[in-house]
A = this chain, B = another copy of it.
């Protein structure tokens, strides 16, 4: 019972964090702002999430699970159509994309608290995408790549386009550019 309550509180904090991120972006997503929204003291919030980074990583984990409609952390399915829709959806929520991109950038430095999350995430996402592509296309995509070759490129294009789009949303049509890439993977030789 205490446990269920605590889980509920945790979910409530994550929802509040997502709202704060949407409204104020990565820098504005302070532990204080989130604590206020859920009616906790900052001390109370620290009981659930000891640092801003752990809170934001939990938000990103939660997003990954919602995005793929999967309750579990592994075995997510990523058909190419769904990925295109996901990129379109992301183009409507710059706050969370900014948070993801800023944390990913920081995570490549020595000893960053989000490093392990992103490292694990990419191993898992590349594997799930390759499985999913194999289910759709077999051992070769129409464009000639194997699922294992295509997966890291799909991830790279999604992440890389986000940076260009966040910096200059007028100049970069992120969903259209992603569709161009999917077209290359799919076009037969």
Contact = CB atoms under 8 A, between A and B. Distances in A.
Contacts of A109: 25-27, 98, 102
Contacts of A167: 107-108, 115, 118-119, 122
Pick the most buried of A109, A119, A168: most chain B CB atoms within 10 A of its CB: A109
Interface stretch (A32-40, A69-77, A145-153): A145-153
A185 B187 contact: no
B166 A155 contact: no
A50 interface: no
A155 B164 contact: yes
A14 to B, nearest CB: 21
Contacts of A108: 26, 98, 101-102, 105, 163, 166-167
Contact of A177 (B111, B115, B152, B180): B152
Interface residues on A, range: 35 or more
A92 interface: no
A110 interface: yes
Contacts of A188: 189
A44 interface: no
A46 interface: no
A50 B80 CA distance: 47
Interface of A: 25-28, 98, 101-111, 115, 118-119, 122-123, 126, 143-145, 149-150, 152-153, 155-161, 163-164, 166-168, 171-172, 177, 180-181, 183-185, 187-189
